[in-house]
Amino acid sequence: MEVIARGAEAVVYADGDVVVKHRPPKRYRAPELDEHLRATRTRREARLLALAKRAGVPAPVVLDVDPEEKKLCMSRVRGEKLSRLVGGMEVPELREVFATAGVLAGRLHAKGIIHGDLTTANMLLSGGRVYFIDFGLGEVSTSHEAMGTDLLVFRKCVRSTHFQQEEVILDAFFSGYRSTFAGAERAIEKMHTIERRGRYFEDRG
């Protein structure tokens, strides 16, 4: 199998239409903690990927999970990360893609699925479809706090990495999100509340 990606946590191998995501040990942290994090995230990712698919969110199909080995085997999504595509996209395309991403986030939240790392590096564009990947930090929760946090992660990612397209992306994303999820307003309101609680929130003007 060849290595197709080396993320911060995981190494991803591919062979044909199958990929294996392996979380190797991190020697900088306590071995017990390291073992626990890698095993729970591998297990959690498999479970949430399955739930996401059932909620109508395009995501890889889980083929096998081995928490002992910290390996997750899934179908390969042939495409590129949105984080790498944003710079080359025109406004209409940005709108369309991020409205879709917003719809998908809405579908997840409507089913009580929290992604946990909702960033453009964890969204793949393949054949015109947006796929969500990397659910290892996720959880199942219907609390608005959890949803608001999820949304805030996305907003901060856009603010820190796609600052030139920030407005278009966020507008499209939240309009998509609102259009699919009945609890959208409350979750968005919660996102603002969480942000205001933060240490560095400053009222402008």
Partner 1 sequence: MSGEFLCLGIEGTAEKLGVGIVSAEGEILANLVRQMKVAEGIHPSEAAQHHATHLPALVRAGLERAGVEMRELSLIAFSRGPGLGPCLRVAAVAARALALKHKLPLLGVNHCVAHIEIGRLTTGAEDPLTVYVSGGNTQVTAFAQGRYRVLGETIDIALGNCIDQFARELELGMPGGPVVERLARRGRYLPLPYVVKGMDLSYSGLLTAAVRLAERERVEDVCFSLQETAFAMLVEVAERALVQAEKEEVLIAGGVGVNARLQQMLAGMCSEHGVRLHVPPGEVLGDNGAMIAWLGVLSYLSGERQRLEDTHVRQRWRTDEVAVRWR
Q: Contact at 8 Å (CB) between 11 and 3?
A: yes
Q: Contact at 8 Å (CB) between 168 and 99?
A: no
When binding is defined by CB under 6 A, the residue of 134, 168, 169, 187 that contacts ligand ATP is 134
The answer to the question of residue 117 lying near partner 1 (CB under 8 A) is: yes
Distance of CA 163 to the CA centre of its chain: 19
Q: Which is nearer to partner 1, 34 or 66 (CB)?
A: 34
Residue 82's nearest CA partner among 106, 112, 102 is 102
Q: Which is nearer to ligand ATP, 4 or 140 (CB)?
A: 4
When binding is defined by CB under 5 A, the residue of 41, 104, 109, 134 that contacts Mg ion is 134
Q: Of the residues 17, 34, 64, 117, which is catalytic?
A: 117
Q: Which is nearer to Mg ion, 49 or 188 (CB)?
A: 49
Task: Give the nearest distance from C-beta 197 to partner 1 in angstroms.
Answer: 7
CA 117/CA 194 separation, integer angstroms: 16
Asked if 117 is an active-site residue, the reply is: yes
Task: Give the nearest distance from C-beta 16 to ligand ATP in angstroms.
Answer: 12
> Where on the chain is the footprint of ligand ATP (CB under 6 A)?
4-5, 7-10, 12, 19, 21, 60, 74, 76-77, 81, 121-122, 133-134
Catalytic sites, residue numbers: 117
